[in-house]
Chain A
Amino acid sequence: MSDLNTLTISDARDKLRTKEITAAELTESCLSAIEGADALGAFVHNTPELAREQAKAADTRLAEGDAPAMCGIPLGIKDLFCTKGVPSQAASGILKGFIPEYESTVSQNLFNAGAVMLGKLNMDEFAMGSSNETSVYGNAVNPWRRGNEEAALTPGGSSGGSASAVSADLCLGATGTDTGGSIRQPAAFVGITGIKPTYGRCSRWGIVAFASSLDQAGPMTKTVRDSAIMLEAMCGHDPKDSTSAELAVPNFEAMLTGDIKGKKIGIPKEYRMDGMPTEIEKLWTDGAEMLRAAGAEIVDISLPHTKYALPAYYVIAPAEASSNLARYDGVRYGHRAQLAQGDGITEMYEKTRAEGFGPEVQRRVMIGTYVLSAGFYDAYYNRARRVRALIKKDFDDVFAAGVDAILTPATPSAAFGLGEMKDADPVQMYLNDVFTVTVNLAGLPGISVPAGLDKQGLPLGLQLIGRPWEEGDLLNTAYVLEEAAGFVAKPTKWW
């Protein structure tokens, strides 16, 4: 078999366990796929030697019959995760040359389960962006194109490299992180599945921090089943993250029964936006019908504060970012500016940060600094945190009324062209997260499932939002939607 890289995680696991294939063969197949895919800009630091070493160790474990589900599965790791001995720079110039002396808990959990790392994946700088265009490495490119056009499209962001790599079969799965939609929006743009678990499910230790009260890691995979398998390996309590939940991790895959009879699925009226493309409107209606046909009850619900989620997010996330990114000062790691004669420590900070941070990161750090500054803290930051409490209450009320999950579109459009938003106001780019950002503010699990193609042949996704800590139930509903939608399209290889 020459195209092992196109396998799903679950199929590869089964073939590895029956010795039909080896982890070494599987890894080689992915490494060759990566070699021919420079045009996608997905992998930014390749680790073939480490991958071969890990694959060999996985084959030994498999031979000994000690094979967790992820054993021998080749993955890409988002550049936001610190990986020991491997460059980890959050796609920022300010962390150029940074080589961690430690491993993030999530990547360590995956390695403990036998997973293989093929390399680090492109992303928006510090995960700030929705198109992967703020990366110091250059753009990641969507494997999908509009019809026969050659225009390069965005794979979404911030986990754009992860999305591109999984969609193009360069790896079997990838890690992503999601602060406002950075797993779910790119997953939707490239026709794959991505889940952001409940806040606290995955340890944030060793993941470069953007907005600590919103950041969560999650898997990006080819199928819902794969997300269930990979999420289980990623999460779990970690004493090194004080917000990590002390809860047992269920066997998510075993919860994919395909039975959602009697489940109540809410359709929030506030997500029906002016100017929403009719195709997305139709996809949403069709998705609801599919769940109804599977025995779920579809109910109209209201989440009245939805409209205020994005503005609240653009206070809270930059505020937290301005604090988190204060550590990049040219002293302990990464870039330090060349200083002129007589420059003191303040000049060193200011020059280092001006050179090291890209424009979007600078913008958000400064907005965050402003909303936290004396005289504005109450008017902006505290008000946004109050609104956040109301947004969470909207969800609490709906769940208390018996709703099991909420169905919405994943994104307001299909993938757009790279460069298309170049002259747009930053706020226009922020609107990409309009359907996903509420979920981060409320700390809920959310999953994006590919559900159809638009008239130009680009994938579109639907989002399901679940109750806190009930990822298993959410994955099961997503599994039913996936089966019913029957999305099997793949991009035509041009790279």
Chain B
Amino acid sequence: MSIDRDTAARVAKLARIRVEENDLPALAQEFNNILGFIEQLNEVDVEGVEPMTSVTPQRLKRRKDEVTDGGYQDKVLSNAPDAREGFFAVPKVVE
């Protein structure tokens, strides 16, 4: 399967990474090279094999649903590019 320019543009959009129009053909070509490498997996007989979720046969641990941490808004916001009045500030989301 081959990735064209439109598919490359769609993937970039899904990944929320701006790619300039001029760069799309080269990007599509790179995807095709990597996917060509990945295609080898089609040679493997995986009939009846469960997809692996964890390398160790352990159930994901559970904990009590309780507050164990928090109460330091200033620390949470200390690295924000734009924080105002105790909140993260972003451009307008809803018209």
A14 to B43, CA, bound (A): 55
User: What string of 1s and 0s marks CB contacts (under 8 Å) between A302-322 and chain B?
Assistant: 000101101110110000001
Chain B residues with Cβ below 8 Å from A349 are 16
How many residues of chain A have a CB within 8 Å of chain B?
Answer: 70
Contact: A311 with B41, CB < 8 Å? Answer: yes
- B46 contacts A by Cβ under 8 Å: yes
Q: Interface segment, A45-53, A56-64, A327-335?
A: A327-335
Contact: A383 with B46, CB < 8 Å? Answer: yes
Chain B residues with Cβ below 8 Å from A354 are 17-19
Contact: A369 with B79, CB < 8 Å? Answer: no
Chain B residues with Cβ below 8 Å from A363 are 30, 34
Contact for A369 among B14, B46, B81, CB less than 8 A: B14
A304 to B37, CA, bound (A): 18
- B40 contacts A by Cβ under 8 Å: yes
Contact: A350 with B41, CB < 8 Å? Answer: no
Prevailing SS type, chain A contact patch: helix
Contact: B18 with A386, CB < 8 Å? Answer: no
- A120 contacts B by Cβ under 8 Å: no
Contact for B93 among A97, A243, A344, A369, CB less than 8 A: A344
With contacts A331-B90, A332-B79 taken as known, whether A366 is within 8 angstroms of B51 at the C-beta atoms is no
- B91 contacts A by Cβ under 8 Å: yes
Contact: A101 with B78, CB < 8 Å? Answer: yes
With contacts A305-B44, A335-B81 taken as known, whether A426 is within 8 angstroms of B33 at the C-beta atoms is yes
Contact: A242 with B41, CB < 8 Å? Answer: no
Chain A residues with Cβ below 8 Å from B58 are 200, 243, 245
Shortest Cβ distance from B27 into A: residue: A366
Contact: B91 with A101, CB < 8 Å? Answer: no
- A263 contacts B by Cβ under 8 Å: no
With contacts A97-B79, A426-B34 taken as known, whether A199 is within 8 angstroms of B56 at the C-beta atoms is yes
A329 to B76, CA, bound (A): 16
CB distance from A228 to the nearest CB of B (A): 22
Shortest Cβ distance from B15 into A: residue: A369
A20 to B81, CA, bound (A): 49
- B67 contacts A by Cβ under 8 Å: no
Contact: B37 with A311, CB < 8 Å? Answer: yes
Q: Which of A423-442 contact B (CB under 8 A)?
A: 425-427, 430, 441-442
CB distance from A218 to the nearest CB of B (A): 16
Shortest Cβ distance from A101 into B: residue: B75
Chain A residues with Cβ below 8 Å from B44 are 305, 308, 383, 386-387, 390
Contact: A311 with B38, CB < 8 Å? Answer: yes
Contact: A382 with B51, CB < 8 Å? Answer: yes
- B84 contacts A by Cβ under 8 Å: no
User: What string of 1s and 0s marks CB contacts (under 8 Å) between B15-42 and chain A?
Assistant: 1111100000001001101110111111
A334 to B11, CA, bound (A): 24
Contact: B18 with A351, CB < 8 Å? Answer: yes
Contact: B52 with A386, CB < 8 Å? Answer: yes
A330 to B55, CA, bound (A): 33
Q: Which of A320-377 contact B (CB under 8 A)?
A: 322, 326, 329-336, 339, 343-351, 353-354, 357, 362-363, 365-367, 369-371, 373
Contact: B34 with A332, CB < 8 Å? Answer: no
Extra inter-chain contacts (4) besides given A353-B15, A362-B15, A386-B50, CB under 8 Å: A336-B81, A363-B34, A386-B51, A387-B41
Interface CB pairs A-B, < 8 A, 27: A101-B76, A101-B79, A199-B56, A200-B55, A213-B55, A245-B56, A245-B58, A305-B44, A307-B40, A308-B44, A330-B81, A335-B81, A344-B91, A353-B15, A357-B17, A365-B15, A370-B11, A370-B35, A380-B41, A384-B38, A386-B51, A389-B52, A392-B52, A392-B55, A427-B33, A441-B55, A443-B55
The 10 A-B residue pairs with the shortest CB-CB distance, nearest first, are: A443-B55, A385-B51, A336-B81, A333-B79, A386-B46, A350-B18, A354-B18, A349-B16, A389-B52, A369-B15
